Amino acid sequence: MFCVSSWCKFLSLVLLVAVLAACGDLTDDLLPDSDDKRAAVSAGTTGYMPGQLAADFTVSTSNETSFQLADHLSAGSAPADVVVLYFTMWCPICLAHSDHLYNVVIPQFAGRGTVVYGLVDYVSGSVSASRASELANGYAGSEFVTLVDSEHVLMDQFNGAMGTVVVIDADGTILMNEGYRNGAALIDILEQQLP
C-alpha cells in the first residue's frame, strides 16, 4: 500500500512539473510591469498594434447613422486630432472605466483640439439594443458616439475585448491598443496629441 501511494505522489509531482514547464516563462505573469512585450511593427503596415495604420471601417451608431473612420482622419469630412475607441460590455468594470473617461478624461481635454470618443458596443447585437444600453447607462446625448459592433468588425480588427482602448491619430496611426486600467496611458497620449 505504501509503495502505491508513494508512486502516485511521484507521478503527480512529475505531471505538475511537466504542466508548469509547458507554460513557459511565468515571470511575465508573476512579475508584471508596464513594458509593452509585443513584437515591434514596421511603420506603414496595417494592423492593430501601436505604430501600425488602422484599416478603414464603417459601422452603425446607436442613432442609426454610419460611422466611418476615414471621415475622422485628416482628409475626412469631419477630421479629428484623435479617435478614442473604448470597448464596452456595459458591465460594472466597463462602466467604471467609461464613467472615469466621461467624468475625468473628457473634461480634462475639453477645448483642446478635436477628439471623437466612441463606445464600441460589441455585445448588444443590434442598433436598438445598443441604444437601450446607452440610454440605461446614461450616455445618450453625451460626448460618446456609441458604435454598434454587432458583426464584431471592430473587435476582430483591433483584437479588442472588454476594457480595451484604441487611440488613432489624424493620419490613421494607432497610438494605443491596451486595457484601460486607470486611464493614465490614455491621458499621456492625449497630452502629447492635443494642442
User: In this predicted model, what pLDDT tens digit does every residue of 134-189 receive, in sequence order?
Assistant: 999 999 999 999 999 999 999 999 999 999 999 999 999 999 999 999 999 999 99
Q: Give domain status of residue 7, yes or no.
A: no
Q: What is the DSSP letter of 73?
A: S
Number of structural domains in the chain? 1
Q: Give domain status of residue 150, yes or no.
A: yes
**3 state SS of 12:** helix
Residue 86 φ then ψ, to 5°: -120, 120
Residue type, 25: D
Instruction: List the Cα angle 38/58/138 in 5-degree steps.
Output: 85
Q: Give domain status of residue 39, yes or no.
A: no
Q: What is the DSSP letter of 85?
A: E
Residue 161 φ then ψ, to 5°: -155, 180
Q: Express each pLDDT in 5-63 by its tens digit.
A: 777 677 777 665 665 555 555 555 556 566 666 678 887 899 999 999 999 999 999 99
Q: Give domain status of residue 113, yes or no.
A: yes
Q: Give domain status of residue 32, yes or no.
A: no
In the chain, DSSP finds a helix count (H) and a strand count (E) of 7, 7
Task: Provide the CATH number for the domain around residue 162.
Answer: 3.40.30.10
What range defines the domain where residue 162 resides?
A: 58-193
pLDDT for the residue 148: 98
Q: Give domain status of residue 6, yes or no.
A: no
What pTM was computed for the model? 0.81
pLDDT for the residue 77: 97
182 grid coordinates:
486607470
pLDDT for the residue 27: 54
Q: Give domain status of residue 145, yes or no.
A: yes
Q: Which contiguous run of DSSP H or E holds residue 11?
A: helix 2-22
Q: Give domain status of residue 181, yes or no.
A: yes
